[in-house]
A = this chain, B = another copy of it.
Amino acid sequence: MYSFRNDYSEGAHEKLLQALARASVEQNAGYGYDRHSLAAAEMICHAAARPDADVHFLSGGTQTNMTAISAFLRPYEAAIAAETGHINVRETGAIEATGHKVIAVPGKDGKLAPPQIQAVLNSHLNEHMVKPKLVYVSNSTELGTIYSKAEMEALSKYCRKRDLILYLDGARLGAALTAPENDLTLEDLGRLTDAFFIGGTKNGALFGEALVICKHALKQDFRYLVKQNGAMLAKGMAVGVQFEELFRDRLYYDLAAHANQMAELLKDAITAEGFGFLAPSATNQVFPILPNSLIKKLSRDYGFEPWFKVDENTSAIRLVTSWATPEKEVKNFIEDFKNCLKQVDGQGKKI
């Protein structure tokens, strides 16, 4: 059985593992002060055209979100997120556990735009309510969609005018930046956001996210917060080494582009059979809406997540490809998909 369940089923890309083996026999400084972490941070600053940024390496997305957001906010300040935002629904209330409310607003395909944020500001007027202060967006979103440069610029302009912090969760940033229709760059994010992170876990690393703090006022004493949140690895080089490899020769982009291409194959084949999708994903997560009978047949040979019950007979599932997904497995799936469909249709169970 092959799994399209997520993009963290496989471990690390071999180049990263080899680099870890090389670094393991060195003596490195602890807690992120090793030369690999310093070199990787410099590469990232360069890629984001922000030589003044602070880069911190953390282990995972939830950890990065909670550490950053609780560092940036005073106790009564709140984060605004789309209802589908990872911090709102998939992090066990980690942000609230640091004391901050997440104000969820209906998004459009997982994305936020200024009017939705303005509605929050309009209804939070005084000290009886939390003070909205940080705007949380993810790119790619939890629905696989991406922000265009124009959308991100509009958000940035809006937030700066109202003294809101713009924070971007890039757990799947590689997939976003290498999507065919993408026109955003790391440089844009360095210019437009106050802080963002570059996800390694879901793009070839064993674990690790690189948080980039662009806004000077948010940098102070950040290492204290990393440590206090249990997020400072003694062998910090373990993340630094991996990002060094990912950013040395654009491996980060190559791996993400491969995942996107595999997803593209899936989308094209499913579209060709006349099915639609829950959201217009541009990246490595695909949400086809399929008859339950077909889903049942597919699930015999493939792993994937059930996602959303559309009606009595139809559901959306989530198929995820990764840097490690072999094209052969994708082609097998497509063939089996077509075969299963014929059987279902043959039984008169038309959609």
Residues in chain A within 8 A of chain B (CB atoms): 2-3, 5-6, 8-14, 17, 20-21, 23-30, 59-67, 70-71, 74-76, 78, 89-94, 96-102, 104, 127-131, 201-202, 206-207, 221, 223-235, 237-238, 324
Instruction: Give me 19 other A-B pairs in contact (C-beta within 8 A), A11-B235, A60-B232 excluded.
Output: A2-B27, A10-B24, A11-B238, A12-B20, A17-B20, A17-B24, A20-B20, A25-B324, A92-B128, A92-B224, A92-B228, A93-B130, A96-B96, A96-B130, A127-B227, A201-B233, A206-B235, A207-B235, A229-B230
- Which chain B residue shows the least CB distance to A325? B27
Q: Would you give 17 A-B contacts (Cβ < 8 Å), ordered by A?
A: A8-B235, A9-B29, A11-B20, A11-B235, A24-B206, A60-B232, A60-B234, A71-B75, A74-B221, A75-B98, A76-B228, A93-B101, A97-B228, A127-B226, A130-B224, A206-B238, A229-B230
Note all chain B residues with C-beta closer than 8 A to A226. Answer: 127
Q: Is the CB of A93 within 8 A of B100?
A: yes
- Whether A224 touches B24, Cβ cut-off 8 Å, given contacts A230-B67, A235-B206, is no
- Whether A3 touches B20, Cβ cut-off 8 Å, given contacts A59-B59, A224-B131, A238-B206, is no
A interface majority secondary structure: loop
User: What is the count of identical protomers in the complex?
Assistant: 4
Q: Is the CB of B27 within 8 A of A3?
A: yes
